[in-house]
Amino acid sequence: MEKTEDGPQSFLPPFEHFATQAIHVGQEPEQWTSMAVVPPISLSTTFKQQAPGQHCGFEYSRSGNPTRTCLEKAVAALDGAKYCLAYASGLAATMNIAHLLKMGDTVICMDDVYGGTNRYFRKVASKMGLKITFVDCSKLECLEAAITPDTKLVWLETPTNPTLKVIDIQGCADVIHKHKDIILVVDNTFMSAYFQRPLSLGADICMYSATKYMNGHSDVVMGLVSVTCDDLYERLKFLQNALGAVPSPFDCYLCNRGLKTLQIRMKQHFCNALAVAQYLESNPRVEKVIYPGLPSHPQHELMKRQSTGCPGMVTFYIKGNLEHAEIFLTNLKLFALAESLGGYESLAEHPAIMTHASVPEGEREVLGINDTLIRLSIGLEDAEDILEDLEQALKAAVPEHMVRN
């Protein structure tokens, strides 16, 4: 296999024409009478009709908006999809997908997922009559055993949040599609369209919290859903309008702009994160590092088979206990102690207290989300400055005598 330009290891080759599609698909100046090179922000909530029921593609901005259409066309191209739909948030996209189901249907959800996804399925969808089963889908035999005649949707996240397990998308698709009418959803938030295309690996739906890498500037809350199946698109398009959880035109403009630099941003995230992971792995104040780009990761070879590279997410266990983790986090200077991820700035957080606090404590322990687990979102700063900040915070948190012992 050829080595990619993104790193020293052999991942899949980059998707062809990615940057060109990000810049040009859906952005054609000819669609505007002004011939604007940058798609304008269409703030109008309503659109004039030529005659009753005869509109020119848009009638009411919840149902469709020109700025949103530009974004959706671009994302569909980047995902290798036929269609894309934009939503007000990643969880709004999750809710719309869940509305494809009916009371009594079963959802199999990966056990290690974003805390908001866990909370939605456990505390909201379950009260609306859906049956939820959490399964370690990294083990295909566990997935197969969990499928019942009522199973109608399987929800994967890969790499998982926050412990960065890598799931075999094609393997799961092969298991799932032996059964009739089960929808496979892959949350591709951590990877972005640049590093992974779940639809080409057998998924039926690819979704994102576009708040993260797809927008990449920490200034938009949005969800995206890409599909190729005509029937799924029509059902989701109906729900997008009927439920009304759509993004504003201005947010669509910002996310569309963010896509234009997605390729160069993700390359740098990978480069910086790999440097951080290698540094942490060699640091005596660190107990364990989890990064799919490292050969030490248990699914490193799988990661290389199904993706073109790795994102900027690095998870590690600091030596000591909760006190040491808190001292480390409060001593960071370049990193911001904050939730979310995928922006140009470096962020650090404590999953057990912050992003995954809503996951029951017993389940957190089983998943490895304990008091010493720290999640880093590595940004686009100079690598030497990132490493210097980590170095000083680790020294402040873990005293020398703990290293010697």
- Catalytic amino acids? 62, 114, 187, 212
Task: Kindly give, in sequence order, each residue whose CB lies less than 8 Å from that of residue 336, ignoring residues fewer than 6 positions away.
Answer: 345, 346, 347, 348
**How many residues would you count in the chain?**
405
Query: How many Å apart are CA 275 and CA 54, to the nearest integer?
Result: 57
Long-range contacts of residues 274-281, Cβ cutoff 8 Å, at least 24 apart = 274/7, 274/310, 275/383, 275/386, 275/387, 276/314, 276/376, 276/378, 276/383, 276/386, 276/387, 276/390, 277/314, 279/387, 279/390, 280/314, 280/316, 280/390
**DSSP of 2-58:** PPPTT-SS--PPPPTTHHHHHHHTT--GGGSTT--SSPP----SB---SBTTB-SS-
DSSP helix/strand/coil, 196? coil
The side-by-side arrangement of strands in the sheet containing 223-227 is: 83-87, 223-227, 205-209, 183-187, 151-157, 106-110, 131-135
Sheet strands (E) in 263-372: 286-290, 313-318, 336-337, 347-349
Cβ 397 vs Cβ 284: under 8 Å: no
Candidates 386, 371, 361, 376; CA nearest to 324 is 371
Q: How far is CA 52 from the centre of its chain?
A: 42
Query: How many Å apart are CA 11 and CA 13, to the nearest integer?
Result: 6
Query: How many Å apart are CA 239 and CA 216, to the nearest integer?
Result: 27
**β-strand 313-318 against 131-135: which pairing, if any?**
unpaired
DSSP helix/strand/coil, 214? coil
Instruction: Calculate the dihedral angle through the C-alpha atoms of 341, 344, 346, 347, rounding to the nearest 10 degrees.
Output: -30
